[in-house]
């Protein structure tokens, strides 16, 4: 019996190690000192990035999430292996909708919130990537889910000139932020039954962005997606699924396909 248990334990341990290696084999944990605080991210860098210009995807977990969870859920590094992918780690932050005491990791909600610690973190990471690798300045993208999606919108507002396109998921942008947006290709993913970030809030954001981007009528694009072409070359894709506050299994492939189609002009 003891031998049997030992064998089972050995198999389970091997599987756990294999699964962990499958996630992290190509991901490197890196640290940056920002405002006296150590910040970290999991970073995937393709071999060619030392010699050839590589796209960059910045991906942000939701409130209470982690860089490991983001890498597992999004998996952008497996879907676009030619791109540098950065799964950034938030710090404990008061949530706008949950966790008012800030006991779990998240991202600043507005410009100047939390002394801009997360905007400064982003700046430091991008600067280090540009120093260490050949970064394609026309193919830098931001995406995230929930609080991470809201931070993607904040990056568009505060660092808009950096990005070729953004893809916020399960998030909304308020009027003050919308006024800061300059036209840019956008994919917004929303669940029709989202109990946290209400669908009507997200719809208001999508409607406002289509106006900002001078979009016309929509037409089908991919499954659950509608594309609104723009008279100024900044289309909007709405990816609306029937779920709740979740990230559909097919979403990462759709977001990568959208990013690939939209380098900066």
Of 204, 165, 184, 191, nearest to 246 by C-alpha is 191
Per-residue pLDDT at 95: 82
Per-residue pLDDT at 262: 98
Of 150, 152, 209, 149, nearest to 179 by C-alpha is 209
Per-residue pLDDT at 126: 98
Of 34, 37, 38, 24, nearest to 75 by C-alpha is 24
Per-residue pLDDT at 25: 66
Q: What phi, psi does 249 have (nearest 5°)?
A: -60, -35
Of 52, 55, 259, nearest to 166 by C-alpha is 259
Per-residue pLDDT of 47-100, as tens digits, reads: 999 999 999 999 999 999 999 999 999 999 999 999 999 999 999 998 888 888
Per-residue pLDDT at 265: 85
Rounded CA separation 100/94 (Å): 5
Of 179, 216, 137, 181, nearest to 168 by C-alpha is 181
Residue stretches of the chain with pLDDT short of 70: 1-25
Of 139, 57, 146, nearest to 106 by C-alpha is 146
Per-residue pLDDT at 16: 38
Burial class (CB in 10 A: 0-12, 13-18, 19+), 247: buried
* Tokens found for residue 133: 């690798």
CATH 3.30.565.10 fits 28-261, yes or no: no
Per-residue pLDDT at 23: 53
- The CB-side HSE value for 206 (13 A sphere, CA atoms) comes to 26
């Amino acid at each position: 019996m003891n031998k049997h248990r030992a064998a089972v334990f050995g198999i389970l341990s091997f599987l756990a190690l294999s699964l962990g290696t499958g996630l992290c084999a190509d991901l490197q944990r890196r640290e940056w000192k920002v405002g006296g605080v150590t910040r970290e991210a999991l970073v995937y860098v393709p071999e060619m990035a030392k010699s050839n210009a590589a796209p960059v995807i910045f991906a942000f977990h939701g409130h209470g999430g982690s860089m490991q969870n983001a890498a597992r859920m999004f998996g952008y590094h497996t879907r676009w292996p030619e791109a540098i992918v950065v799964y950034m780690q938030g710090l404990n932050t008061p949530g706008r909708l949950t966790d008012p005491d800030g006991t779990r990791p998240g991202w600043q909600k507005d410009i100047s919130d939390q002394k801009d610690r997360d905007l400064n973190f982003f700046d430091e990471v991008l600067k280090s990537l540009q120093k260490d690798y050949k970064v394609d300045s026309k193919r830098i993208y931001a995406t995230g889910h929930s609080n991470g999606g809201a931070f993607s919108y904040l990056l568009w507002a505060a660092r808009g000139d950096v990005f070729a396109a953004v893809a916020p998921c399960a998030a909304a942008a308020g009027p003050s932020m919308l006024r800061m947006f300059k036209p840019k290709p956008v994919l917004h993913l929303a669940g029709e039954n989202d109990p946290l970030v209400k669908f009507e809030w997200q719809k208001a954001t999508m409607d406002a962005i289509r106006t900002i981007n001078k979009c016309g009528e929509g037409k089908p694009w991919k499954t659950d997606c509608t594309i609104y072409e723009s008279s100024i070359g900044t289309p909007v894709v709405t990816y609306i699924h029937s779920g709740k506050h979740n990230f559909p299994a097919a979403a990462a492939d759709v977001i990568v396909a959208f990013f690939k189609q939209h380098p900066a002009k």
